[in-house]
Chain A
C-alpha cells in the first residue's frame, strides 16, 4: 500500500512542478500587459526605482528556459509510470503533451506565440541530435552496411518522392481532391519533402524497440544519409516552382542531378575535413583539459554551419564529422573529458529531441495553418506507406543478391513500417513561401498529420509488431574477452582468405584501411601515448578488470568490512607484476611501489612497537594505519583549491587507482591460489561442499578474468622463498605424487596450507583452474604467492573448522578513530580457506607440449644471505600461526631482498625495474 502511495505522491508533486512553469507561461501575456501599464503611467514621474520589473529585458531567454524546463519536467513525468513508457513511445507522449500545452497557450493568448521555427530547428535543435548519432555511430556496422544504406537513402528516397508526388498529381487530375491551385511541380516538391525518413523520429522510436543491430543501422543510416537527397530535391523543386513549370529546361534537370553529387559528396568532405581538424586539435589539448570537450562540440558545429553556408548537406557533414573523429578523439581526450563529452552530447541530443517533439505538438495548435482536404491527406498517408513498402521490397530484392546476410521478409516489414517522418519534413514545409507555393497551408497541415500519424500510430504499434513478427532483437551483452579475441581472429582469417582467393571483398578493404590507419592516420591524429594503448582488446580487458574490481570493492563495502583491503598482503606485491596493459596504470603502479615502500617502513615501526601487544591490537593498528595512510582520506581535504582551469587535485583518482591496484592484486593472488587448488582427497571435497554455497557469488567472480601477469619472472622467487621460509610448516600432502623435477619437488614441498588448516585441506578457494600443460604448471608454481598471503576473500569466508589459530582479531570500529567514515564491523575468524593447494596430479608428460619455459625457478637466488638478518618479530609472528604481522614481516624481508638486488633501494624506477625482472 505504502509502496503505491509513494509514486502517487511523487506524481502529484511532479504535476505540481509541471504546473508552475505552465502557469508562468500562461500568465506571460498578462504580465506583458501588466508591465506596460506601470511603465506608461508612472514612467516619467518616478525617479530612481529600487526594484523594477523588467520583463522585456529577459523575455526571450526566460521563455526559452521555461520551455526547456517544462519539457524536461514532462520527461520526468512520463517516466514516473513505467507502464506508460513501455507501451507508448516518448515521442508520441511529447507530441500529445505539446498539443495540450499549445491548447493552453492558445486559450491564454489566442495567437500561436510559440511554434517550431525552421531556424531554431535547423540551427540549434537538429545538430546536437545528428552529432550524437554520428559520434556514437557503430562504425564497423555502419560501413559494413554502407552499400545497403546508400541504396535505400538515395534510390529509396527518390523513389518515394517521385511516386508520391506523381500519384498525388494523378489523383488530383482525376478531380478527386476538388479544386486546388496546384501544379505538378508543387506535388513533386511536396513529395520530396515528405519522402525522407526522419532521423529524429527513427531514433526516438527505434531506440525503444531494440531490433537487431543490422536492421537498426539500415533504417537509421538511411534516415541520416537521405538528407542530401532531400536537400537537393527540395532545392531543385523549389527553384523550379519559383521559375514556373514551363521554364524548366533539361539543363536544369541535369544541373539538379549534378548538384546532388556536389551536395552529398561536398557535405561528406566538409565533415571529414572538420573531423581531421578536430582530431588534430584534441591531440594538443593536454594542458587545457578543462576546455577539451568544448572543441568536440564547437568544431563539429562549425562543420554543420560551414556546409550550410556552402549549401551542402549539413546533416551529412556533421554525421561524418562525428563518425570520422570518434576514434581519434576518444583516444586523445582524457577519461574525464570523454565522460563529459558523452554526457553532454547525450543531454543535448535528448533535450533537443524532447523540445522538437513537444513543439511539433504545440505548433499544430494554430488554426491559421490548417487547411483540410480529406482526399489529399488520406491519399498522402496511403501513398507514403504503400510506396515505401514497395520501394523497400524492390530494393531488398536487388540487395539480397549481393548481401551476405539476407534481409528477410520480416526485416522488410519492419523497415517499411519504420519509415517515420518527422520534424525535418515539418521544418521544410514551414519554410515554403506562400507566394510561390499557393497551397502551402494544405501542405503544412498534411505534413503535420503525416508526422503525427507516423510518430504516434506507427510508433505505438511498431513494438507489438516487432514482437508479433518475432524480429530478431538485439541483446545487450557484456563485452567478453574471448568474443573479442575470436572476433579479431576471424577478421584476420577472412581478410587472409580473401587475399588467398584473390578477391577484393570488404574484408580486404577493411584490412587495407586499418593498415593505412595504423601507419599514417593514427600517427598524425593520435597522441603518442594514445597510440600505444589504443587497442580494442586492451580496452575490453581493462574495462572488465575495472568492473571486477569495482564490484569487488562494492561487495566488500556492502558487507560492511574493509578488511579485505587490509595491508598485510599488500607487501606481497614484490611477487606480482600487476602492470596492466595501459601505460598509465603501469606508471601508477611504479609510484605505488614507491609509496608502498614508505608505508612499509611505517608499518614496520608500528609492529615493532606493538610487538608485545596482543595480535588483535596489532591488527587494529595496522588497519587503522592503512586506512589513514591511503585509503579513506576525507575528500574535503582536496577541495580547498579552486581553479577554473584545472581540476587537478587528482588525489581522489590516485586513491581510486590504488584501491584498484590493490584489489586487483589480491584477487589475482587469490586466483592463483585457486589455480593451484587441486589434489584434494574426496573427504576434503565433501567437507568443502558445505562451504561452497555461500561462496558461490564470489567464486563466480574469481573465475573471471584477472590480470595474471608475469608469473614467470617474478614468481619464481616467490616459490623458493616460500619453500625456504616455511619449512617447518610443511603440511602432509595427500594424494600427491612426487614431482619428478627438483623444481617440482621444491614446489611440492613448500607448505600448501595455512598453518591453521587441517592437514587434509590444502586449499581455500573452491576452484582449481589448473592447466595440465607442463608449461603452465611451471608458471603456476610461480603463482603461489606466499603461503600465508591472505586472500581478499578472507573476510567473507566462513571458518571451516573451529581452530583457535585461525581466529583472527576482529576489527572494531572503535579502534578506527581516523576520519574514516566507512563502517568497520567486527568480523571474527577469517577462513582458513585461503591457502593455495598443492598440485595433486603429477604432471602428465606430454611429448608435444613445449618444455617448461625459461620461467623455471630461479634457483640461483641465494636464500640465506639474501634474507634480512634481523627479523625476529616476523618469525615469531609466523610461528604463532597465521598472523598479519607475520605475513607482513616475511614480505618485508622479501622486499628488502628485492631492494638489495636492485642496488638502490631508494631509487624508485630502478627498483621497480629490478622487481620486474
Chain B
C-alpha cells in the first residue's frame, strides 16, 4: 500500500518537493515539509503533466482544452485560469502566468491535499486557509482583494450555466441574495454611513466559519486505476 495523501510516514524515502525539486512556492516557511506528495504521487502527476503538455516542459492554457471531461464543467474557464493565477502560484499579487511548469502544477495540485491526521491544530487551520484562499482567488478575478457584487454575479452565473433552464436573471438575484447574506454575516450591524464594498478574504473566512471543508476540497491523488468508492 502506498502511503496515501500526505501521511507522515517517517521511514520510507519520500521524495518531497522539499528535497527533489527547488522549492519556492507553497512549501516555504508556512508549510513545513510533511506536506509533500509521496514519490508515487509525484511520478503519477508527472506522467499526467507530460501527457497534458505533450512532452513539453510547460503547460499553456490551450493544453487544457485537450481534457475532454473538462468540457462539461460550467466553471471550466475559471478553474483553468486559477492554474495560471500568479496569486495561486505564489509569484505575485496579481496577473496571470503564460505557462506553468511541473513545479507550478504541483503547487496548484497541493491546494487539494487532504488534511493529514498528524497535523496539529495550527497546521490544519493554515491548510484550511490555503484552500479557501484558492477559492477566493477564483472569485476575485481582478485581484483587488475583494469579491465585488459584479464578480460574484459572474461566478454564480457561470456556476448555474450548466442548467439551461435557469435564466440569467435568476442567477443574478441569487448572487445578490448571497451578497446580502454575506454582508449580514460579515459586518452585522452596519453603521449608517457604512458601505459594503465586497467580500474581503477575512469576510470570506467568516462565511466559512463552522463549515467543514474536509470533504469538500480534497482530492485523493492515487493511481489512475483506483476508483474511490470509499470516500
Contact = CB atoms under 8 A, between A and B. Distances in A.
Interface stretch (B21-29, B122-130, B215-223): B215-223
A671 B181 CA distance: 12
Interface in B190-221: 190-198, 207-208, 210-211, 213-221
Interface string B138-149: 100010100011
Interface residues of A, number: 100
B196 A769 contact: yes
A392 to B, nearest CB: 15
A500 B64 contact: yes
A581 B165 CA distance: 10
A405 B196 contact: no
B227 A509 contact: yes
Contacts of A684: 192
Interface in B146-186: 148-150, 155-156, 159-160, 162-163, 165-167, 169-170, 172-174, 176-185
Nearest to A680: B193
A506 B192 contact: no
Interface stretch (A329-337, A555-563, A650-658, A695-703): A695-703
B11 interface: no
Interface in B1-57: 1, 4-5, 45, 48, 51-52
A500 B181 CA distance: 33
Interface residues of B, number: 85
Interface stretch (A90-98, A284-292, A482-490, A883-891): A482-490
Nearest to A708: B176
B230 A708 contact: no
Contacts of B213: 490
B51 A504 contact: no
B73 A499 contact: yes
B231 A506 contact: yes
B112 interface: yes
B94 to A, nearest CB: 9
Contacts of B193: 678-680, 682, 685, 768, 840
B196 A504 contact: no
B177 A538 contact: no
B89 interface: no
B21 to A, nearest CB: 17
Interface stretch (A395-403, A426-434, A449-457): A395-403
Contacts, number: 273
Contacts of B52: 500
Contacts of B228: 147, 402, 504-506
A502 B4 contact: no
Contacts of A614: none
A773 B190 contact: no
A710 interface: yes
B181 A495 contact: no
Contacts of A148: 230-231
Given A493-B217, A509-B227, A705-B181, 4 more contacts: A502-B224, A505-B226, A685-B192, A769-B179
Interface of A: 144-148, 150-151, 399, 401-406, 408, 475, 477, 480-483, 485-490, 492-509, 511-512, 515, 518, 531-533, 535, 537-538, 541, 544-545, 577, 579-581, 671, 677-680, 682, 684-685, 688, 692, 696, 699-700, 703-710, 763, 766-773, 775-776, 840-841, 846, 848-850
Interface of B: 1, 4-5, 45, 48, 51-52, 64, 67, 69-70, 72-76, 79, 83, 109, 112, 114, 117, 135, 138, 142, 144, 148-150, 155-156, 159-160, 162-163, 165-167, 169-170, 172-174, 176-185, 189-198, 207-208, 210-211, 213-222, 224-231
